[in-house]
A = this chain, B = another copy of it.
Amino acid sequence: MTDRYHHGDLRRALIEAAVTALGESGPGSLSLRAVAKRTGVSHAAPAHHFGDKAGLLTAVATEGHERFADALERAWSETGDFVEVGVAYVRFAVDYRAYFEVMFRIELLHLDDPDLDRARDRSNRVLYAGMDEEAAEAAPRLAAWSLVHGFAVLLMAGNFDEEVAADPEAAVREIAAQLNDLPGADRGDRR
């Protein structure tokens, strides 16, 4: 299964190798050749499946958005609390750092890829699942998204002190409480 000429599911294997490599060193120093070697194929094998480096990262980002949407969806359906969706947002960034680092680095991706487009759309929709569609105008959505995304990004870039970094989820709940018209869960029952 491993040393045949045809790999079987090389595409899958390359994506997984890329993800583990990303987890070790980040997207900046990811090398197609290293991913190929890790998978046991020649240096040009990835090009056939993904076209170029951005193509591989696009595939990773697509898979990332799918997992991301799953995680957010799960959080919402399990708790019904919009804040917990935000917590899941940050938890994903921490637990699936390799994916998260790629998903929002658009200069590394093929934005015209239809699969990526679909996946991004879904995770976008899922994020807002808990909000009353008509009532909430744009501002609360933007605020909530910005808040949680900014927190995740700053956290991963090491901008917070140890206390916050030690228990990010608790910190998210605290800062989420700073939003006055918390969208989603029926207003008024909060606090």
Residue numbers of A with Cβ under 8 A of B are 26, 28, 104-108, 138-140, 142-154, 157-160, 163-164, 171, 174-175, 177-181
Contact = CB atoms under 8 A, between A and B. Distances in A.
A105 B105 CA distance: 11
Contacts of A139: 171, 174-175, 177-178
Contacts of A158: 106
A158 B144 CA distance: 17
Among A108, A147, A174, the most chain B Cβ lie within 10 Å of the Cβ of: A147
Q: Which 10 A-B pairs have the closest CB atoms?
A: A150-B150, A180-B180, A146-B150, A143-B178, A143-B175, A146-B151, A149-B150, A139-B174, A147-B147, A142-B175
B138 A149 contact: no
17 contacts: A28-B28, A28-B108, A106-B157, A106-B158, A139-B175, A139-B178, A140-B178, A142-B160, A142-B171, A143-B174, A145-B150, A147-B147, A149-B154, A150-B153, A153-B153, A178-B180, A180-B180
Contacts of A149: 150, 153-154
A160 B141 CA distance: 11
A87 to B, nearest CB: 13
A103 B78 CA distance: 38
